[in-house]
Amino acid sequence: MNEEKKKELASAKHLAKKLQKAEREARKRAIKNRKPFKGLQIRPTVSLFDEAGRQEPGENNWEGYGFDIHPQVTMFSALILVLFIAGTLLFPGQAEDLFNSALAHITKNAGWFMIAAANIIVVAALFFAFGRYGNLRIGGAEAQPEFTKFAWYAMLLSAGMGIGLLFWSVAEPISHLNKPSPMFGGLGAGTPEAAQAAMATTFFHWGIHPWAIYSVVALGLAFFAYNRGLPLTIRSVFYPIIGNKIYGFWGNLIDVLSVLATLTGLATSLGLGVSQVNAGLNHLFGIEISIPIQVGLIIGITALATTSVVMGLDGGVKRLSEINMILAGVFLIFILIAGPTVYIMSGFTQNIGYYVSNFIEMSLWTETFRDTNWQGGWTIFYWAWWISWSPFVGMFIARISKGRTVREFILGVMLIPSLLSFFWMSVFGGSAIFQETNGIADIISAVKVDASIALFAMVDALPFSSILSLVGVILVTVFFVTSSDSGSLVVDHLTSGGKLDSPVPQRVFWAVMEGVVAATLLIGGGLTALQTASIITGLPFAIILLMMVYSLNAGLKQEFEIEEVVRRKVREVREDHIINEVINSVVHDHALIDREEEVVNSKSSKKSEKNKKE
C-alpha cells in the first residue's frame, strides 16, 4: 500500500470516529432539548424519551396454568365475549331482531361519520408517505427488513383480505350489476353502464381506503414498538397523548376495544369463509347448506388453525401464506386463460381508470339527497369491517415490517395489495359479468339465492369445473387457517401486555374463541349478524383511529426533529473534516514547494559560488 492510500485510509477512519462521536452527542442534546408535545395530552411534558414510569411488556401479568395474561384486558374481554355468546345462544330470536335493528340504526345515523373517518385516514397515510417523515426507518436508521418482499406481500394479502377476496370477488360485482349503486343514477340492471359501475364500486370497496386504514394502524404500532421500545399493543400508539397512563385504565380500555374489534372482524371473515366452504361442498358432493354443517366446519377448520398457531409466525403463518399465494396464483392464472382473457385484461385497465376518475365522488358520497340506505349494506359495512380488522391486520403487518422506511411501508401496504385485489376482482368478477351479460350462465339468480355460491356458479361454465370448485374450497379453508392463526397471535399480544412469545395454550384458547364467536354469530342471524358485529365494534374504534392519527403525527414529528438535529451536526463535522483535510493538504503542498525552492536556491547559490571561484 503506497503512502497516499495509507493517508486516505487514516483520514477515513478519523472521519468515521468523529462522525460517530458527533452523532451520539447531537442525539443526546436533541433529546434533552426536545420540545414537549402540545395539544390534547393529559400530561403536557410527556415525551417519547421519558423513562420514568415505563413498564416492560407483561410486567404485571398473571402467570400460571399455561397462561401469561394481562389481567384487566383479558378478563374484561373474555367476560364481554362470554356474555355475548351466552345471550345469543340462549335467546337467538331476540338476538337476531337486535342485530337487524342495530344495523339499520347505525348505518342510517352514523354512516356519514364512517365515511369521513375513512377519508381522513387516507389523507393522513398519504401525508406520512410523501411528507417529511417519509425517510424515517422503522426500527432505527440501521434496521434491516426481516422478510423478502415476496414473503412480505404474500403475508399482507393472505392475512389482510384472503377469505373476503374469494367470497366477494364474484358475488359483489354481480350484485352491483343487478342493482347498481344509486350514486351512478338510474342505471338499468345488466347494462354495459351497470357493468362498469359494478366493477368501479367493487374496486372502491377493496382498494385504497381499507389498505390506508391498515397502513396507518400498522405504522403506529411499528413505530412506537421498534423505535421507542413500547409494548406492541394499540395502547402504545397513544403515548404522546396520555403518557404513562397507557399502563392504566385508559390503556386497558383501548386494548379491550382492540380485542373485541379484532375478534368480531375475524369472526365476520370466518363466518363468510365457512359459508362458502359449505356452498362448495354442496356444489361438489351435495352436502346440505345449513347452520349446523357450518358450525361443524368451523370446529374442524379451527382445529387445523391451532396447529399453525403452535408453529408460530415464521413456521406457520409464513409457510401457509406463501403456499396459499402460489395456489391462489395458479387458480387466478387458470381463470384468466380459460375465461375471456381479452375482456378481462381490457376491463382491468378500464376499471382502474374509471375508479380513479370517480374516486373523490365515491369517497365522499353519503346518499344525503336520497331516501335510501344502500350504503348501509355495502360501503358502511365494509369501512366498519376494515376498521374492526385494523388491530389484527395492523399488528400483524407491524410485526413483519421492521426495517422499512415510512414511505416504503405506507406505499407498499396501500398500493401493492390494492393492485393485486383489483386484478383478482377483474379476473373473477370480469369473468362472471361476461358470462352473465352474454347468456353463458345465470349467476344473478345464484347470488339472489345465496351469495356464497356465486364463485362456484361462475366456474361451472369453465373447463374442469369440479377441480376448480375443489381448489376454491381448499383456498377458502387455508385462508381461514391463516386468518385464524394470525388473529390468534395478535389477540395473544394484546391480552399479554405486548409480550411477543406467550404460552401455547394461551394461543390455542384465542384460536378457539375466534371460532366460537363466528359460530355464535351464524346461529344468531347469519350474514346480518356478521355485518352487525363488525359495524358495532367498528364505530367506536373509528374514533380511536382518528385519535391515533393525531398521536402518530406527534411521535413522528419529534423523531424527525431529532434526526434533523443529528443530520445537521453530522454534516457540519463532515464539512469541517473536509476543510481541515484541504487545509492540511494545502499546507503540506506549500511546505513541499518551499522545500523545493530552498533546495533550488541552495543549488543555485552553490553553483554561483563555484563559478566565482573559477
Query: Taking phi first (over 0 means left), then psi (-120 to 50 degrees means alpha), and beta for anything else, what does residue 248 get?
Result: beta
**For the chain, the helix, strand and coil percentages under 3-state DSSP, each to the nearest 5:** 80, 0, 20
Cβ contact 430:348 at 8 Å: yes
Which tops the pLDDT comparison, 363 or 36? 363
Give the pLDDT score at 256. 93
Count of H helices and E strands in the chain?
21, 2
Which tops the pLDDT comparison, 529 or 454? 454
Give the pLDDT score at 588. 53
Kindly state the percentage of the chain with pLDDT values over 70: 80
Average pLDDT over residues 223-230: 88
Beta bridge partners of 69: 62
Lowest-confidence region among 61-75, 467-481, 513-527, 581-595: 581-595
Q: In 114-123, which positions are buried (b, 16+ CB within 10 angstroms) versus exposed (e)?
A: bbebbbbbbe
What is the pLDDT confidence band of residue 6, given thresholds at 50, 70 and 90? low
Is it the case that residue 14 has pLDDT exceeding 50?
A: yes
Instruction: Give the H/E segment covering residue 12.
Output: helix 3-32
What is the pLDDT confidence band of residue 238, given thresholds at 50, 70 and 90? very high
Average pLDDT over residues 291-298: 92
Give the pLDDT score at 266. 85
Average pLDDT over residues 293-305: 89
Distance CA 465, CA 571 (A): 65
Give the pLDDT score at 331. 94
Is it the case that residue 290 has pLDDT exceeding 50?
A: yes
Distance CA 522, CA 518 (A): 6
Give the pLDDT score at 457. 94
Longest CA–CA span in the chain (Å) reads 133
Give helix 249-285 / helix 71-90 axis angle, nearest 10°.
Answer: 40
CATH number, span 62-567: 1.20.1740
Cβ contact 205:378 at 8 Å: yes
Of 274, 181, 176, the C-alpha closest to 530 is 274
Average pLDDT over residues 255-264: 90
Give the pLDDT score at 316. 56
Mean pLDDT of the chain: 83
Cα dihedral 392, 396, 399, 400, rounded to 10, equals: -160
Distance CA 373, CA 193 (A): 22
What is the pLDDT confidence band of residue 283, given thresholds at 50, 70 and 90? confident
Distance CA 560, CA 233 (A): 23
pLDDT digits (tens, 9 = 90+) for 566-601: 777 767 766 666 666 656 665 555 555 555 556 555
Average pLDDT over residues 187-213: 95
Domain ranges of the chain: 62-567
